[in-house]
Structure 1
Amino acid sequence: MTRIEKQHHLVLLALVGTLHVPAAQAQDTRKVSEPSMPAVCTVLTATQVYAEGLRQLDTTKIQAALNACPAGQAVQLAANNEKDSFHSGPLQIPSGVGLIIDRDATLYASTDANLYDKGEKTCGVNAEKGRTCMPFITIEKAKGSGIYGDGVIDGQGGQLVQGKTESWWQMARRAQREKNEHNIPRLIEIKKSQDITFYRIRLRNSPNFHVTVSQSDGFTAWGVKIDTPSDARNTDGIDPISSRNITIAHSYIRTGDDNIAIKGGNSGATENVSIINNHFYSGHGMSIGSETNSGVRRILVRNLSLDGTTSGLRIKSDVSRGGVVEQVRYEDVCIRNSKRPIDLDTRYDQKALGDKIPLYRDIVFDRVHSLSPGRIVLRAYDAAHPMSLEFRQSSIAANSPQLIQFANLNIDQKKITVADKADNIVWNTAIAASCEHRFTEFPAHTPINFRPQLTSQQAQAYTLENVLRTTGPADKPVTDPWNPLEDNLVKAANLPIDYVVDANAVADGKTRFNTVQAAINQALLDGRRLVAEQSSKQRLFILLKPGTYQELLYVPATALPITVYSNESDATKTKIAASAHAALLGAAYIHRYGAQFAQVDSSIQEMYASLKDRPVIGTSGSAIAWIRGHGFQAKNITFQNTYNKDQVDTKAECPNTVCGATAGTAPVVVVQHQAVALMVEGADKVQFENVRVLGFQDTLFLKSSAIAHTARSFFHRSYVEGNVDFIFGDTTAYFYRSEIKSLGDRSTSYVTAPNTNVRTPYGFVFNEVNFTHDGSANALAGKFYLGRQWFHTQKCTPYATINVASYRCTLSDVDGYQAPVGTISKKVLETVGKTVILNSKIGQHIHLQHPWADWNKKGSLAFRPVQFSVADYLRNLTQVGLQPIQHLGYDSLDNLAPATSGIFLSEFNNTHVPLQPSADSQKTMPTGVK
């Protein structure tokens, strides 16, 4: 069994070693390793964008998915291109169920106080009584539940509460001034539960405490990031309360109150806690208390950096809530920029009343270093309750004030008793070298750059000369410099005439024809003869008189290249047009076009025959103009697939015999199918000058003859329009000083759908191109895309879990899927798709921040995430257990990604401006095209 078979459902088994601490020391008694992602039961994709406002609640669908998820699995919240936001009221995670939030997804807590109210109508109101709000997420009486992923849970603490003039945080500050209670929801509460896991999740902007763990046995937080402003009141990071067996590891916490606060309140002691390999920033420090009345014991804090916390290592309590805090070990701790780097105080509230006297004993500081001056507070309650502390190989920065009362100290085996008060204890003040590299920047949640830009140096690789320099197999490229701008097709005022096509003239079958296909057929025959005669003629020219030629145009491989042109500079006056679509039955294709191919050369008949016996002709069979001849040229001509072009009838239906539906099924609704206007297949040095290519879906298909084989096309002063994937394929094509228009017939549009092989240096390159739109409401919504990478012939996706029980997608030599198991080939994985756009104008119809899209949405068989570079490609493979060298047979990853082929999608020097649609997209060339 391969590794991908063992590690699917996006499970990344990255067990990074156990936290080993001698059993006799204070610690979590469990054997804790880095968690792994659970299998996914359901994928939910986002439908909202935060910047546009969160207008709907996703509470019902998220809670329903959680309730239906089997124990041991998780509900996954995933972004769908720019739609990356979920918006919810309170949620409850059932026992055994997980919640995964993907890297680019955010779950926002609603700011509607009414949703959190426990029934007293006081949530969101400052009053004498507090704690009347439910938390945003509750895990109660659960075992094995958890929250996972690299995404975000955002409590929106700084946003205005719905219907009010204050945010949650402002409400809390006002309560502090008015000396009453603020009724504000916590972000996550875990109650009376076992073995709960938080893994890699990012929590931010909680209205109140971020995470509380109460009366629970077993909680692991690993790789968690907590991020809330330093002035947000009562926003503790993680608070274990009356619980045991807690591990918080490899986490980063900056907040407005205690980074961690271990509490032993009325419901019992907190014990067996490991705080390992963490980093704290703003906040009130690594705290114990203030509730310690039931006891806190067996605590290990190891390898911790605190940078900018108000207190560093802190134990706080008073006579209203005090108890015994014992067997606490601090090891390898570095503190800087703290007002009170060590702060052990039994008089937390100076005005507190009661008889619960705090007692701190058996507290060890081993290799604890305060690097900047700050007040050292070691204040026990009285002489009858001294604190006992031991310092080993620790240091305090020089000039640090001291407040020490009733303490029995052991400083590097030197015993010191402070009977009443002291402020002159001698400490080691040497700066610890071990802290030199311990501080690190808080890991900011930087969204993926969905609009990567080339450097000036990288852009030089995309000049016309460089892109069109080579042809042939990518691993053995043939240098064949080609500059189509130097060709007579561009430069000459008049081109030669070998044949004339005129629908209204008398044809002679030799040099004058009524159809374009007849002229192509004769040029094919004459070309063979001329080559056999060793003629000096290098090319054959076919002049088309103005008019609409309602026919298909098939150009096979030719002995001499062919140029088809019109002398009319207005390309709309000379048109080759027909109607065909991917769902058209082979029988209907024969009925429409069979007579056209009855008396043509066998090479043309072969092209026709390859389609006629198909049940349906498919996407490639729908091409109106199908070019296989090397060196083919066209000028001043329109190629149009008229399928649904005159008027889109969204309610149209047609019978099975026409549309291609399976016999006995309901009629097919004909709204849109793939309908290719122009297909270039395997032909090299194909050139188009002032042509128009018109269609809707899949307008222009540029197809190589073999995998990773470079064939070159060039479009100059030309125009292409469509709505979905309307420039697609795996060849190298250069578009120069042209217009590409998106039509708004659908709510979503993709200009390109490249499926370039990873080894092919160049895919589609657009230089000085205007990307325009038709002014439709869909286009003006600004949510169209420059492209998505065609996941060619995929039958299953290894990149995401599908909403199918026991789903797997494994590497194989073939592509297939029979639920719940599918296979995918290396060939399909390598069709990465490449498009680069330079020096162009991009209209308002293209999404400004997110112009490149995933291939379909997560949770579907056809999903693949957008990949901008070979680094993305390799990372995505390894994340699902595929090792590029071991499983895909690459000799070297360096050879896989030379300078150009390492870039998949990028831009350079483009402007994103509102462009007005052409006055008549069917009749005018783009403004400013030269």
Structure 2
Amino acid sequence: MMSQHKYLPATCVAAVMTALLFSGTANAQDSRQVKEPQTPAICIVLAAQMESGKAGAESRAPDTQLLQTAIDACRPGQAVRLRSRNGKTAFVSGALQLRSGVSLLIDSGVTLYASTRPLDYDRGAGTCGTNDDKGKGCKPFITIDHAKGSGIYGEGVIDGQGGERISGKEESWWQIARRAQRENNRQNVPRLIEITQSNDITLHNITLRNSPNFHVTLNQVDGFTAWGVRIDTPANARNTDGIDPISSRNITIANSYIRTGDDNVAIKAGNNGPTENITIRNNHFYSGHGMSIGSETNGGVSNVLIENLSMDGTTSGLRIKSDISRGGLVQNISYRNVCIRNVKAPIDFDTHYGKTATGDLIPQYRNIKLEHVQSLTPGKIILRGYDAARPIQFALQDVSVADKSSSQFEHVQLAGSDKVIFDSLAANPQQCTQAFAAYPELQTVSKRPQLDAQTARDFAYAEVLKYAGLPGKEQISPWDPRSEPIAADPQLTPDYIVDANAVPDGVRIFRQVQAAVNQAITDLDKGKTSRQRIHIFIKPGTYRELVYVPDTTVPITLYGSDAATTRITVNLDAATTGSSYTAQFSAQFSGTHQSIKAMHEGLKDRPTLGTFGTAVLWVKSPGFQAKNLTIENAYNKDKGNARADCQPGNCPDENSIYARSQMVHHQALAVMLDGADKSHFDGVRMLGFQDTLYMKSGKDGQTARQFFQRSYIEGDVDFIFGDATAYFFETEIKTLGERNSSYVGAPSTNVKSRYGFVFDHCRFTHDGSSHALAGKFSLARQWFHNERCTPYAPVPVPGYDCQIGEVDQFNSPTGTIRRQTLESVGKMVVMNSVIGAHINKKQPWSDWNKKGTLPYRPAQFSSDDYWANLLAAKIDPIKQMGYAGPFSPVRIFLAEFNNTEE
């Protein structure tokens, strides 16, 4: 089938061609290998003291000294974090300067407002906030000068308050800018962010809005990344360019959304030198003056790649503008995969920008390539070279504009043709179907809270493990497992030996681990040992048995020589019936010590075992140790776990109102630590799928501490869970990704407990499955333990109501939830660790189930969130929960510190 072509007169454009490519455009892009930036470590956290509504009209700048002092105190490589506190979400500041290597992190829901007082920016002449012939009387709101490695991060907002009335005047910043335009002079107003003579500067995920003047300018910068940035300022706000690289190099602007009152992006090169090596990729522009190069080009602009760009409603689209007062060479510019609609001038390359310009700096545009560019609505196409000797030189490939578009062509040289010809839109109708995106709404809650360096010290190994007691009443009770290595003495003679190939003597040598544990407890009971610890050595082999370790007066150590060849394994899941369990394992427990038998007997008569009856290794003994062993629950290990919670004909929609409550559940524990304080695991491999490792506190929530080092834990859903205090050090946590959702942790820590789970110097890895590579898995969801209904959001049941009560129950449409269930909040901190690509970067902490289902609870990052959620659920924390007031200091539930991502 032949392509559709249409040759038009010089006043119209609409048809096709494939042209020769200019070799110079092949290298047009940032010379760096740019990846999504990572948030730096936090040096200090500052809490907001002002409500946003009041801050918007605030004329003074109460936070300037606070912010600048914190910035000045930070070491390079760290950031000052701005967070909300008890509903306060705003900071108001005058001019700030970021020091070299120091960054700013603004949490989601937090806004940093620029003061409306001219004196907060004045350069000393008293002209800021006035109009004159110079227009340089104001310092920027944020200056980055002669710096390296600084940046601004976070899901929060920087608001320049350009539309607010200037303190002491009757006009806003924007109004005096319009007046300057009428009076033909210049406004003295502050830019929002000005970066000068700096290297490797980053803007990541931040929202910039309402700048009085340009939002971001770069001058003599080498290395700048804007990733996921949102710029939002009204279309009628004068001179509010989005991002302007000027005389700079190695620039990437990616995955960003820009709507403003002037150029969305303007690449310039003035007297300070050239601008080169620019990548502008995967962006969306709305109101504004388009994707511009110029008007200052006298320094030279080269090697620019603009690809995957949508423009919807800009005045100009792809634009190169200059004139003889500021012109220079613009070359090696490549536009690729660009979609344009509702734009007055979709393509505008003009060397006569200033109608009255004078000078001898002649603009030249050459090696310009347009590839896969569509303009879906009629507009004006302008191609005006300087003269016949210096035409615009460019190439086209699959470039189309809408019918009824007009054109203005002068001095144009098209590669491979003597005519300017474009494709018909019908030639590639699908190119722009998915290109346009709505401007994204701001998140209101931080999804990735970070600790500051001082707070991180509270989660160090020695701090976490030195407290014990009831929740909220913990006392210092030091425990340092690293000072007592497990079975480290090479001359150690074990008390008992387990060898699958030996002839057992029933005294010291056994073929089963449980038999050796039984003998140790029996000997203890008969007073046959006076040791402070019992050591049971397990030789390499596969031991297909359950191992139950009851509460003992002398702690027990199980250890091997090689975890890879020493395995204890059983296939057992929560749906297993008591009768099936009895048939499989009653012989193993026949004749065992009464304390062991009691553990077995507590399970054998159940209709189904449930989660807590499935443990391969079940430990109640304080001070228990394990080393160089593999503990495996082999349920589904032979075929995978993707449909583990479903039986044919009984697999309801997991997003339904009742969520997963009607499914057949198949949790399968490898290890259960049942109130076993001071448990220590070294070099142990724990294998399973759902619920691999369960750690339970002691009676009435008494602290049970566990320490894991140099170990390996794998699973897919909630595979490290419970309400104990657990410290994981130098341990690999591997997510198996056959399911389409996965959660490493499911802590159910009591709100008053000092600590939950802490992961330090760990590696969070994955198995390379497609679901893992999608990057949508979670570090944790907080186990909403025992819930039967949710008070946190509506459920689509007529008359639905869930109130605090004495029991957890739901008899549709109403239910009750206990205080104890609400207080099971879940705490987990990840620090100094490597987090794989399988974990959702923007939201690694998940809600518990979907909103609109009975088990739903939103992720709660701190006690402030907990308090706010109770109030939102119409639960009075003081009258109904018995609290004196909000927790002070704030208690951390979920957080990170100093992590890196693969």
Measure, in 2, the Cα distance between the counterparts of 1:192 and 1:133.
19
Match among 40, 43, 63 for residue 42 of structure 2: 40
Measure, in 1, the Cα distance between the counterparts of 2:361 and 2:855.
70
Measure, in 2, the Cα distance between the counterparts of 1:869 and 1:360.
66
Aligned match of 2:270: 265
C-alpha spacing 1:372/1:225, structure 2 compared with 1 (3 Å): same
> Deviations 1:356-376 (Å, cap 9, x if unpaired)?
111111100011111111100
**What is the correspondence of 1:150-169 to structure 2 with a 5 Å cutoff?**
150-169=155-174
Partner amino acid, structure 2, of 1:436: T
Measure, in 2, the Cα distance between the counterparts of 1:60 and 1:835.
44
C-alpha spacing 1:828/1:374, structure 2 compared with 1 (3 Å): closer
Partner amino acid, structure 1, of 2:434: H
Match among 68, 77, 85 for residue 72 of structure 1: 77
TM-score of the pair, normalised by structure 2: 0.51
Measure, in 2, the Cα distance between the counterparts of 1:105 and 1:893.
21
> Deviations 1:146-181 (Å, cap 9, x if unpaired)?
111111111011101111111101111111111110
**What is the correspondence of 1:751-900 to structure 2 with a 5 Å cutoff?**
791-795=751-755, 836=791, 899-900=853-854
C-alpha spacing 1:837/1:705, structure 2 compared with 1 (3 Å): farther
Measure, in 2, the Cα distance between the counterparts of 1:59 and 1:386.
52
Match among 139, 146, 152 for residue 147 of structure 1: 152
Match among 817, 836, 857 for residue 903 of structure 1: 857
Partner amino acid, structure 1, of 2:334: R
Q: CA deviation at 1:353?
A: 1.1
CA contact (8 A) 2:150 2:200 kept: yes
Total equivalences in the alignment: 504
CA contact (8 A) 2:784 2:848 kept: no
CA contact (8 A) 1:796 1:809 kept: no
Measure, in 1, the Cα distance between the counterparts of 2:145 and 2:321.
28
CA contact (8 A) 2:245 2:267 kept: yes
Aligned match of 2:419: 416
C-alpha spacing 1:393/1:169, structure 2 compared with 1 (3 Å): same
Q: CA deviation at 1:123?
A: 0.8
SS at match of 1:153: strand
Aligned match of 1:307: 312
> Deviations 1:466-503 (Å, cap 9, x if unpaired)?
xxxxxxxxxxxxxxxxxxxxxxxxxxxxxxxxxxxxxx
Q: CA deviation at 1:231?
A: 0.7
Quick check: 1:291 aligned with 2:296? yes
C-alpha spacing 1:343/1:875, structure 2 compared with 1 (3 Å): farther
Quick check: 1:27 aligned with 2:29? yes
Partner amino acid, structure 2, of 1:44: L
TM-score of the pair, normalised by structure 1: 0.49
Measure, in 2, the Cα distance between the counterparts of 1:440 and 1:137.
30
Aligned match of 1:436: 433
CA contact (8 A) 1:98 1:145 kept: yes
C-alpha spacing 1:810/1:435, structure 2 compared with 1 (3 Å): closer
Match among 229, 236, 247 for residue 224 of structure 1: 229
**What is the correspondence of 1:475-514 to structure 2 with a 5 Å cutoff?**
none
Match among 373, 376, 379 for residue 374 of structure 1: 379
Measure, in 2, the Cα distance between the counterparts of 1:225 and 1:218.
20
CA contact (8 A) 1:111 1:160 kept: yes
CA contact (8 A) 1:758 1:831 kept: no
Partner amino acid, structure 2, of 1:441: A
Consecutive unaligned residues of structure 2, counting only runs of 5 or more, are: 1-22, 448-696, 703-722, 724-744, 765-778, 795-820, 840-845, 859-868, 877-902
Measure, in 1, the Cα distance between the counterparts of 2:424 and 2:763.
60
C-alpha spacing 1:322/1:908, structure 2 compared with 1 (3 Å): closer
Measure, in 2, the Cα distance between the counterparts of 1:76 and 1:232.
30
SS at match of 1:900: coil
Aligned match of 2:705: none
RMSD: 4.2
Identity of aligned residues (%): 50
CA contact (8 A) 1:267 1:294 kept: yes
Measure, in 2, the Cα distance between the counterparts of 1:882 and 1:902.
26
Quick check: 1:87 aligned with 2:92? yes
SS at match of 2:225: strand
SS at match of 2:336: strand
SS at match of 2:419: strand
CA contact (8 A) 2:28 2:305 kept: yes
Measure, in 2, the Cα distance between the counterparts of 1:705 and 1:355.
87
Q: CA deviation at 1:434?
A: 1.3
Q: CA deviation at 1:138?
A: 0.5
Match among 325, 347, 351 for residue 342 of structure 1: 347
Q: CA deviation at 1:432?
A: 3.3
Aligned match of 2:180: 175
Aligned match of 1:98: 103
Measure, in 1, the Cα distance between the counterparts of 2:828 and 2:228.
19
Match among 326, 329, 332 for residue 334 of structure 2: 329
Aligned match of 1:816: none
> Deviations 1:567-587 (Å, cap 9, x if unpaired)?
xxxxxxxxxxxxxxxxxxxxx
Q: CA deviation at 1:382?
A: 1.8
C-alpha spacing 1:205/1:832, structure 2 compared with 1 (3 Å): farther
SS at match of 1:82: coil
Measure, in 1, the Cα distance between the counterparts of 2:173 and 2:78.
34
**What is the correspondence of 1:107-146 to structure 2 with a 5 Å cutoff?**
107-146=112-151
Match among 235, 244, 256 for residue 239 of structure 1: 244
> Deviations 1:649-675 (Å, cap 9, x if unpaired)?
xxxxxxxxxxxxxxxxxxxxxxxxxxx
Quick check: 1:49 aligned with 2:51? yes
Measure, in 2, the Cα distance between the counterparts of 1:449 and 1:196.
23
Match among 442, 445, 458 for residue 445 of structure 1: 442
Measure, in 2, the Cα distance between the counterparts of 1:277 and 1:219.
16
Partner amino acid, structure 2, of 1:27: Q
C-alpha spacing 1:880/1:120, structure 2 compared with 1 (3 Å): same
C-alpha spacing 1:360/1:46, structure 2 compared with 1 (3 Å): same
Q: CA deviation at 1:795?
A: 3.6
Measure, in 2, the Cα distance between the counterparts of 1:353 and 1:869.
74
C-alpha spacing 1:388/1:759, structure 2 compared with 1 (3 Å): closer
Larger Rg belongs to: 1
Q: CA deviation at 1:254?
A: 0.7
C-alpha spacing 1:828/1:322, structure 2 compared with 1 (3 Å): closer
CA contact (8 A) 1:207 1:235 kept: yes
Measure, in 1, the Cα distance between the counterparts of 2:25 and 2:318.
24
**What is the correspondence of 1:533-682 to structure 2 with a 5 Å cutoff?**
none
CA contact (8 A) 1:48 1:84 kept: yes
Measure, in 1, the Cα distance between the counterparts of 2:284 and 2:36.
17
CA contact (8 A) 1:758 1:901 kept: no
Q: CA deviation at 1:144?
A: 0.8
Q: CA deviation at 1:119?
A: 1.2
Q: CA deviation at 1:302?
A: 0.9
C-alpha spacing 1:831/1:810, structure 2 compared with 1 (3 Å): farther
Q: CA deviation at 1:319?
A: 1.0
Q: CA deviation at 1:416?
A: 2.6
Partner amino acid, structure 1, of 2:791: V
Measure, in 1, the Cα distance between the counterparts of 2:338 and 2:392.
21
C-alpha spacing 1:827/1:215, structure 2 compared with 1 (3 Å): closer
Consecutive unaligned residues of structure 1, counting only runs of 5 or more, are: 1-20, 418-424, 451-702, 709-729, 731-756, 761-788, 800-806, 812-824, 840-867, 887-891, 913-930
CA contact (8 A) 1:67 1:94 kept: yes
> Deviations 1:272-300 (Å, cap 9, x if unpaired)?
00001111111100000000011101100
Measure, in 1, the Cα distance between the counterparts of 2:425 and 2:227.
34
Measure, in 1, the Cα distance between the counterparts of 2:170 and 2:847.
57
SS at match of 2:372: strand
